[in-house]
Structure 1
Amino acid sequence: MTIKRPTLRDSNRMFGWTAANWELDVWKGVAVALLIAAASTFLSDHYGVPKMLFALLIGLSMGFLSEVPSLEPGLSFSAKTILRVGVGLLGAQLGLGQVQALGMASVGGVVTLVIATIFCGVALSFLIGRKTAFGFLSGGAVAICGASAALALASVLPQHPSRDKDTVLVVITVTVLSTVAMVMYPILFQALNYGDVQSGFLIGATIHDVAQVVGAGYSINDEVGIASTVVKMLRVAMLPLILFAVHLWFRSSQTSGKMTFPWFLLTFAFLAVMRSVIDVPESVVKFLAELSQWLMVAAISAIGVRSNLGAVLKVHPSLIFILFAETLFLLVFAIAFSKVFMD
């Protein structure tokens, strides 16, 4: 009788791996992802460019490593399981106290903006003949928190040959757009003579990545910085709900195969609730936030290595157009909302 050796594909339902999978080949691939993450963090700290963008670009430039058989198990583990653990730990950064300073109008506006932007992405994706999954991936990244949301959404979308390539495209584009917005939006809102409350709301509601929101808000003054950060965290707080909704959407529409329940989202929800109901030491919150960031940077490093750079560069311009259109839609919708409810 032949006993089949367990592999990463023979994963358990919860996290996609078992203790028997922890072999030398897994650690080799994970070490590569962590090394790229460390280099990206170093470069980000010294040059001010988002570490996820560095990680993705370095990973893409080292795509030849994906052809090394001994590295594939660890790279696959990093791109899937480590990503999911990182998403789960994001919950420690959220709490109900972060939205108490917002009025009901602002809360309702943010929720509406997020949902409308996601459906804008789905509609545009449908119009150009792309799968709905790309609409959710791009729309969610623009609507919620940029690269982090793109990675989180990729972890609950169904398996598809183009998923990693689409994720790479979305991460690169939203990071570039967010960086441009960080510079241009404060100038735009001040030119329109918006006050601190409106400027803070608009910056927090329209810029993709958290770091760029903080940079743009505090470039005006501390009050705008605080307000924009609170609004941004409300957008981030919608991430678990959107992830559950996307998972249910594709599970109900899938005609073959199975989609396992994303248990890591329970970790996200549990940590968010604990942050709200008990006084979690700030040192613990900071540690979990940094750990989450490290894991997600390692995951995007592995995705970059496993992606085909040539295929990414050959993407149809319409996909990039969708991301630009979603960003413009979010900006115009947010300005219109602030004019009606905040003037």
Structure 2
Amino acid sequence: MSGDVDVTPAPQAVALPEKTSGGSPRSRAVALAAGIGVCAVGAALAIGIGRLLPAVNPMLIAIVLGTLVANLIPAPAWIRPGVDFSTKRLLRLGIAVLGLQLMFHDILALGWEVIALVVVIVAAGITGTMYLGRILGLSWTQRVLIACGFSICGAAAVAAADGVVDAKDREVVTSIALVVVFGTLMIPGVPLLAGALGMDDRQSGILAGGAIHEVAQVVAAGGMIGGGALAIATVVKLARVLMLAPVMAYLGVVQRRRTRDAGASDGTTGRQPPLVPIFVIGFLASVAVRSSGLLPDVVIDQAALVQSALLTTAMFGLGLGVRVGLLRSVGLRPFALAAAATLWVVFMAFVGVVLVG
């Protein structure tokens, strides 16, 4: 992104000593375990704080905690392998487990009109956000993260997109923070809008599920509306979450082409990302398993806790790589794009309610 200040963590905070990279398997295992352990402890603290502040996403809390630790008590460089494992492998595993919260027949029960609306919201939301982001001069990766987060399912979509396009840490943190800020503003905003327009429960539910970014934010807004709006809003939102799979598969194809073109331009042959990311296949497999009806409710509930823990652990690790100058360096353009993306998605959801509600 043009005009960015370099906020890459200082070498002593991220660079591994030579003895770590070339050490014994035992020393590498210790470094891996220590880094994962630090991230897990940070995640546990974030989840605990999140229980006291239910309106705040634990993933955002984890990033803030990780950033505070990185700037006040820098983690030793030798644990970096475990931190990297948390921000990459555990992140993708968490996205795969997220699929256990979805059932195909719940989505199909919405009817083809609402399903078509969800597809339009996601596709047009991403396309419009990418176009406006290019006008604003934002990097391709920053635009992808914001577009996916605001059009699909918030922080989880940002994290999933980062797993495909490998964005900069500051871009990921900025995108998640924007999702939480604007999504939180929509919790009272959407119910007020629905009430002012005289929408019934079905229409209000479609508007909330189609427009609000995070699943938790949709639940909060649906609860404020009351009646049957919450159930409809939740299913519509989960239909948007299901769009995570085709969008990430498409991004995988685009990323392969970008990597190939970059290699052709500089005469190198970079490592090609997989055509369909493995975690996307895992996500779809989890949806299929949940839809089979073979899993008892207690397993589903525990899987939700595991998924939250994995993603929160990854976010704490991401925060460990951030310096305090991050938000000062990103400028106003990401905020402008986030505001425009929010209004665009709300507008499409409203038009959809008028047409199919």
Q: TM-score, normalised by structure 1?
A: 0.90
Q: 1:56 aligns with which of 42, 53, 63?
A: 63
Q: 1:125 aligns with which of 126, 133, 138?
A: 133
Tell me how far 1:20 sits from its aligned partner: 7.9
Alignment pair present for 1:298 and 2:305:
no
Check the 8 A contact 1:50/1:175 in 2, yes or no: yes
One-letter amino acid matched to 1:99: I
Alignment of 1:273-284 (within 5 A): 273-284=288-299
Gaps of at least 5 residues in structure 2 are: 1-17, 264-269
Residues 103 and 20 (structure 1), Cα distance of their counterparts in 2 relative to 1, 3 Å cut = farther
- Root mean square deviation of aligned Cα: 2.0
C-alpha distance in 2, partners of 1:166/1:302? 15
Check the 8 A contact 2:69/2:75 in 1, yes or no: no
One-letter amino acid matched to 2:200: G
Match for residue 174 of structure 2?
Answer: 169
1:269-317 deviations in whole A, cap 9, x for unaligned? 1111122234321111222221111000000011011122213332120
Match for residue 310 of structure 1?
Answer: 325
Check the 8 A contact 2:142/2:175 in 1, yes or no: no
Alignment pair present for 1:242 and 2:247:
yes
C-alpha distance in 2, partners of 1:214/1:42? 20
State the SS of the aligned residue for 1:102. coil
Alignment pair present for 1:259 and 2:245:
no
Alignment of 1:135-146 (within 5 A): 135-146=143-154
State the SS of the aligned residue for 1:155. helix
Match for residue 269 of structure 1?
Answer: 284
Alignment pair present for 1:204 and 2:204:
no
Tell me how far 1:5 sits from its aligned partner: 9.0
Tell me how far 1:6 sits from its aligned partner: 9.2
Check the 8 A contact 2:31/2:81 in 1, yes or no: yes
Match for residue 98 of structure 1?
Answer: 106
C-alpha distance in 2, partners of 1:44/1:92? 22
C-alpha distance in 2, partners of 1:273/1:21? 40
C-alpha distance in 1, partners of 2:116/2:28? 46
1:33-52 deviations in whole A, cap 9, x for unaligned? 11111111111111222211
Alignment of 1:146-165 (within 5 A): 146-158=154-166, 160=167, 163-165=168-170
Tell me how far 1:265 sits from its aligned partner: 1.8
Q: 1:325 aligns with which of 337, 340, 350?
A: 340
Match for residue 13 of structure 1?
Answer: none
Residues 21 and 102 (structure 1), Cα distance of their counterparts in 2 relative to 1, 3 Å cut = farther
Check the 8 A contact 1:6/1:20 in 2, yes or no: no
Gaps of at least 5 residues in structure 1 are: 9-18
Q: How many residues align?
A: 326
Check the 8 A contact 2:20/2:28 in 1, yes or no: no
Tell me how far 1:341 sits from its aligned partner: 2.8
C-alpha distance in 2, partners of 1:275/1:330? 29
Q: TM-score, normalised by structure 2?
A: 0.87
Single out whichever of 268-277 and 146-155 deviates more from structure 2.
268-277
Match for residue 230 of structure 2?
Answer: 225
1:146-193 deviations in whole A, cap 9, x for unaligned? 1111111111114x5xx2101100101110111111122101111111
